[in-house]
Structure 1
């Protein structure tokens, strides 16, 4: 069996509001999914029969929150002469949810195999919260057809390369990141960070007329 291709892309889901939030603000929170699957019983579509399934915590959580984001990777391998396509998390245990803290708390208490990622070095447990503008920029930058890779912040082997902070056109908006020049690469590469937990590298293919704005 040999790997033929590896492609990275995000899983981004928007669901309807989960109910009455009593005016509580929604926030982006970093979560962890345990490696073990959990058993759940769900009603089969169109019938009253119940069906037992074993799913990962992130697979359940993505149905329960307003917005869900998780970096994914797609690999195509050859097995017994046939191509086999597999989609799995790019960073095995990290994903992001957007909802009210009280609703997220209620999901965690269900013991479906997910938990908060907490800020290190704090005397009490404080979940890692991402600013809306930072998360929206990261989602906009990575929901693209251009080639990209995801890395956990601690596994970023290009972290020592200093990039130029820029704002570039993207679809109908503009995104911010660090523009890098990597020796041996024919692409200009944009690095977009998400606090101290996730980094995306996007190989840019911009039209000659694109305006790249340098930021201070």
Structure 2
């Protein structure tokens, strides 16, 4: 087997199951011991006639899976609703995210109570503020763009996974250094 098939890396995948599926792919993969990251948001849903606050995926079909192709391919073949996301203009080359980029993204998300997720097409040039670096606090050393939202007094650092997803994480003004 080629090295790339046995090496663990983060694959960008999609789950074609419906929103109300009892066992979405990310839960099945977690139960089988595979490392999975799904961007989640809080949403009010109705369960048995009552409104309940529940964590649901931000993008229904998006999940990041850390494993080797050798281990994932049989799972994907067995589960028809689980698919790789493919790079454009290539022949069957799956989208991947580097370990460092993924770890940085997941850590930043975990440090925020309510991160704001953005699709790549939602980020406009007007949203990009100045380049900043975080000095101190839990996000010490992070660099990125300051998100400016009209009417908001909060400061948000934009953290991106190229061509996939971006998140705004709230940062305190005393930790911001303009670059």
User: What TM-score do you get using the length of structure 1 for normalisation?
Assistant: 0.68
* Alignment partner, residue 168 of structure 2: 201
In the alignment, which residue of structure 1 is the partner of 2:177? 212
Quick one: structure 1 residues 198 and 130, their matched pair in 2 at CA, closer, same or farther if it must change by over 3 Å? same
Equivalent pairs counted in the alignment come to 174
Q: Structure 2 regions of 5+ residues with no counterpart?
A: none
Other-structure match for 1:61: 29
Is 1:92 the equivalent of 2:60?
yes
Structure 1, unaligned stretches of length 5 or more?
1-20, 40-53
1:127 shift after superposition: 0.3
Q: Which has the larger radius of gyration?
A: 1
Q: Please show how residues 57-206 of structure 1 align to structure 2 within 5 Å.
A: 57-76=25-44, 82-111=50-79, 113-122=81-90, 124-154=91-121, 156-168=122-134, 169-171=136-138, 173-206=140-173
Q: Does 1:34 align with 2:22?
A: no
CA contact (8 A) 1:65 1:97 kept: no
CA RMSD of aligned residues (A): 3.0
Contact 2:132–2:145 under 8 Å retained in 1: yes
Q: If each structure's strand is expressed as a fraction of its own residues, which one has the higher value?
A: 1
Give the TM-score of the pair, scaled to structure 2: 0.81
SS at 1:109 equivalent: helix
